[in-house]
Amino acid sequence: MAPDGCRQRRSGMEPIEMAKRKTSQPIEPHEIRKLLRQAIRDSGKTVYQLHIATQTETERGVDQGQLHKFMNDESTDMKASSVERLCKVLNLKLVKDDDSAG
């Protein structure tokens, strides 16, 4: 997600606003997974490309099998470190809504 709260298309030039939500309703875990899957699809990157992009000098990339199962909704389990690396590669951020009551 771009800093202004919008997703970006593949070109990175034209932002798309995320669906408006009532701030009194919490985001359920399945919704976060759905948003992450959509961001991955919107990126146009393959599972292999994401695996390579998430590699560091000291760590392997996000496991291709794990990512494939996640994308096909065969598994909902993904390590927090994998999600963090994917978010970094896809320029996504999880931000607290200042209007929320909590």
pLDDT tens column, 28-62 = 777 888 999 999 999 999 999 999 999 988 889 99
pLDDT of residue 8: 44
pLDDT of residue 102: 53
Q: Answer for the pair 6, 15: CB distance below 8 angstroms, yes or no.
A: yes
Q: How far is CA 36 from the centre of its chain?
A: 3
Confidence of residue 11 (pLDDT cuts 50, 70, 90): very low
pLDDT of residue 30: 79
Q: How far apart are CA 27 and CA 47, in angstroms?
A: 26
Residue 18 confidence (pLDDT) above 90: no
Residue 101 confidence (pLDDT) above 60: no
Q: How far apart are CA 40 and CA 87, in angstroms?
A: 9
Q: How far apart are CA 52 and CA 60, in angstroms?
A: 8
- How high does pLDDT run on average in the chain? 78
pLDDT of residue 100: 57
Q: Answer for the pair 93, 87: CB distance below 8 angstroms, yes or no.
A: yes
